[in-house]
């Protein structure tokens, strides 16, 4: 069996690392080809993850990134179609909700290649978000949908997706948290900031809904400043460029640093006071590291975290941001919202079983 895995952004590298390792350990007979679209082209945002997470180097790198959503998706579609016709995979495996996800799912479905979507069924119910459109369309052209939560399963059923396509397996990010926590690494620059453990806020800002809106950007950084709490802000390349374009200067309590690797991010999450972010993945990483999360958006696809009292969705309102950061709320939960850390094994078992069932059916029909 040959699987073509399409990845292009930081969260997907982490998820693919988990599943790729499970393939190598449990099904070495399966050939997996990693395809990096190039969506994240900054070395600190891309190459470092392959090195740290021990992911095999991609068999193909499309080198596509830096354009608009339409430009990126269109160019990826063209290149991925050519590649799929060449490689003839049994499955195309896509993750999450990026332009790479959508391009991989569309290219495969138009070629009648089976698509498996990991992290299926998530909904923010805000269709102004490019990620929401990506995840909805990817779900509805996929053959197998691996849902991380009960709510994700419900969302898919509510949209009329046949039950036989939906498989609740838990979240591969939980697998990653369990495996990589022991390898967490303190950034070499951390001590130079003279910050105390558990006394700083870890913040990330990269979503287009924030970085493309000067009012929202001002509101977020005003809120960080009003809190008076030291903030560590790994700066996504897009965020850094937008700050310069908008002539926004970081407040004195906000320490802007270069993008960090995953192992460094785990260390920062484990040692911060709480997390403030507009990232879907970082919201979950905060949960896995038992840190309260303040979400810098108007909604979240991780509604179960809000319902559990572990996530405060505050948008870009400065007063709400400052209040949430100053609240001193603690993580109070022993729940297992995202499975037990064995999602990858379940995904592989289902993929292999589906191929084996089809193979038997083909033999019967031929006889």
**Distance from chain centroid for Cα 143:** 21
Q: How many CB atoms lie within 10 A of CB 55?
A: 20
Torsion sign, CA atoms 349, 2, 116, 304: positive
Q: For residues 135 and 155, what is the distance between their CA atoms, to the nearest angstrom? A: 12
Q: For residues 199 and 193, what is the distance between their CA atoms, to the nearest angstrom? A: 12
Could you tell me which residues come within 8 angstroms of residue 295 by beta carbon, excluding any fewer than 6 positions away?
A: 276, 277, 278, 283, 311, 312, 313, 314
State the maximum Cα–Cα separation within the chain, in Å, rounded to a whole number: 75
In 27-68, alpha helices (H)? 47-52
Q: For residues 276 and 282, what is the distance between their CA atoms, to the nearest angstrom? A: 9
331-365 residues labelled b (16+ CB within 10 A) or e (exposed): eeeeeebbbebebbbbbbeebbebbeeeeeeeeee
Q: Report, as residue numbers or ranges, the catalytic residues.
A: 206
Q: For residues 220 and 207, what is the distance between their CA atoms, to the nearest angstrom? A: 12
Calculate the dihedral angle through the C-alpha atoms of 254, 259, 265, 268, rounding to the nearest 10 degrees. Answer: -20
DSSP string, 231-261: EEEE--HHHHHHHHHTT----TTEEEE----
DSSP string, 64-83: --SS-HHHHHHHHHHHHHHH
**Distance from chain centroid for Cα 105:** 16
């Amino acid at each position: 069996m040959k699987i073509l895995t399409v990845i292009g952004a930081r969260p997907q590298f982490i998820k693919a690392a988990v599943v790729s390792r499970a393939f190598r350990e449990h099904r070495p007979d399966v050939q997996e080809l990693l395809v990096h679209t190039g969506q994240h082209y900054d070395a600190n945002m891309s190459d470092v993850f392959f090195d740290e997470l021990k992911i095999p180097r991609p068999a193909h790198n499309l080198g596509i990134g830096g354009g608009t959503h339409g430009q990126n998706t269109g160019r990826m579609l063209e290149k991925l179609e050519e590649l799929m016709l060449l490689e003839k995979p049994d499955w195309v495996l896509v993750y999450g909700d990026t332009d790479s996800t959508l391009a991989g799912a569309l290219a495969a479905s138009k070629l009648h290649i089976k698509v498996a979507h990991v992290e299926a069924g998530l909904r923010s119910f805000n269709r102004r978000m490019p990620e929401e459109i990506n995840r909805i369309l990817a779900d509805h052209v996929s053959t197998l949908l691996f849902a991380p939560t009960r709510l994700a399963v419900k969302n898919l059923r509510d949209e009329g997706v046949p039950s036989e396509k939906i498989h609740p397996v838990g979240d591969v990010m939980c697998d990653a948290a369990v495996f990589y926590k022991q390898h967490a690494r303190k950034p070499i620059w951390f001590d130079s900031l003279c910050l105390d453990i558990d006394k700083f806020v870890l913040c990330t800002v990269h979503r287009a809904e924030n970085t493309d809106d000067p009012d929202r950007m001002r509101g977020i950084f005003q809120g960080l400043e009003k809190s008076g709490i030291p903030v560590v802000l790994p700066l996504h390349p897009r965020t850094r460029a937008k700050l310069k374009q908008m002539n926004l200067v970081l407040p004195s309590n906000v320490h802007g640093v270069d993008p960090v690797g995953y192992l460094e991010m785990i260390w920062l999450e484990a040692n911060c006071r709480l997390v403030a972010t507009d990232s879907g993945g970082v919201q979950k990483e905060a949960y896995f590291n038992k840190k309260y999360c303040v979400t810098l958006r108007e909604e979240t696809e991780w509604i179960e975290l809000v319902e559990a009292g572990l996530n405060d969705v505050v948008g870009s309102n400065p007063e709400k941001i400052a209040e949430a950061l100053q609240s001193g709320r603690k993580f109070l939960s022993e729940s297992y919202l995202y499975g037990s850390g064995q999602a990858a094994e379940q995904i592989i078992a289902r993929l292999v079983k589906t191929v084996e069932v089809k193979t038997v059916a083909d033999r019967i029909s031929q006889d």
